[in-house]
Amino acid sequence: MRMLTHKNVILLKFFFFSSGEKKDQLYLNLILEYMPVTVHRVARQYSKLQKAMPLLYVKLYTFQLFRALAYVHNIGICHRDVKPQNMLVDPETAVLKLCDFGSAKQLIIGEKNTSYICSRYYRAPELIFGATNYTNSIDVWSAGTVLAELLLGQPIFPGDSTIDQLVEIIKVLGTPTKEHIQQMNPNYKEQSFPCVKGCPWSRVFGVGTCPKAIELVSLLLVYTPSDRPTPLSACAHTFFDDLRATECKLPSGRAIPSCTDFSAEELGNEKQLAPLLCPRLSEFSCVDALSITGSTLSASLSRSTPASNKFPPPNGTGTSAGL
């Protein structure tokens, strides 16, 4: 955790070792920056009141989650336990920080990893199929389930067991094809599954749900890991366009956390997303670092149609490991 320094990742301030009651017991104690509450608790408060979480907060929390994942993936780390309980927020400022890196690991191509990882409701299907050579895209799936949960007010795939978890996923996505299973885990012993037709996303969320939110969820929650967008591409989706507007404020009147101050390091090998992530030249904090000239910026903007709801295609994986 000492190498993690990002506005949306919990900061390790200090650590020390202490002895237990027995001679061979040694404890590692972590002192982290203080954050008042988890997204899980905030979401439960709305559920108890039988109210939906305001869409602005859904956008702010999930945008900052994707931004945190983009950062950790860029430095070669897969979190492997993304869930609302591991998302800390300050209700006054709406700042979010990803925490609990106890399951995090640097994924190395060719090196096997445990498939029994990540909390069940948020576990990617390739893990359920026993994949041991998975990629950082398992975090993207988890983030997609978090977004869906905040929109629904409850987990989208509430499985009671590992098998039931797969059943819940199939109810929505339909039965995976042989090609899907091959992409998720090429070593999976082929079994026959009952043919189930997927449920339309509009029916999953119901009338009144933001169409752009539904579109983003549909892009994140797909069987083929390589078809999922990178976290940075998710940040560039039109669902988050309101957060890039200067007039966007919290209900209290306070300014929202900045969502356009991406650095060159954050953009990594996805610098083509800069015009979408930092749409106004005055807020292009990454211009100098990227040495973007006026002509280069104009050319980039001309290739991106602001009025389009198309999802920006990812260029590469956006990670230095695993993908």
Catalytic residue, chosen from 24, 81, 90, 160, is: 81
Residue indicated by tokens 């929505």: 172
259: in domain: yes
Q: What is the pLDDT of residues 73-120, one digit of tens each?
A: 999 999 999 999 999 999 999 999 999 999 999 999 889 999 999 999
Average pLDDT over residues 153-168: 96
- Of 94, 67, 91, the closest CA to residue 79 belongs to 67
pTM here is 0.85
CATH code for position 59: 1.10.510.10
pLDDT at residue 303, as a whole number: 39
In single-letter form, the type of residue at position 261 comes to D
**Long-range CB contact pairs, 222-227, < 8 A, 24+:** 222/173, 223/125, 223/173, 223/176, 223/180, 223/183, 223/184, 224/179, 224/180, 224/183, 224/184, 225/124, 225/126, 225/134, 225/135, 225/137, 225/138, 225/141, 225/183, 225/184, 226/135, 226/137, 226/183
The answer to whether residue 241 is catalytic is: no
Backbone angles phi, psi at 95, to 5 degrees: -75, 135
pLDDT tens figures, 266-299: 999 999 999 999 886 444 444 443 443 333 334 4
Q: State whether residue 14 is helix, strand or coil.
A: strand
Tell me the per-residue pLDDT of 180-238, one tens digit each, with 9 for 90 and over: 999 999 989 877 788 999 999 999 998 999 999 999 999 999 999 999 999 999 999 99
In a domain, 29, yes or no: no
Q: What is the pLDDT of residues 238-256, one digit of tens each?
A: 999 999 988 899 999 999 9
Q: Is residue 25 part of a domain?
A: no
Number of domains in the chain: 1
Structural domain contains residue 101 = yes
Residue 148 has pLDDT above 90, yes or no: yes
Residue range(s) defining the domain that contains residue 261: 37-303
Give the Cα separation of 44 and 118 in Å (integer): 21
Task: Over range 52-69, report the average pLDDT.
Answer: 98
How is the chain split among helix, strand and coil, in percent rounded to 5?
Answer: 40, 10, 50
What is the pLDDT at residue 192?
76
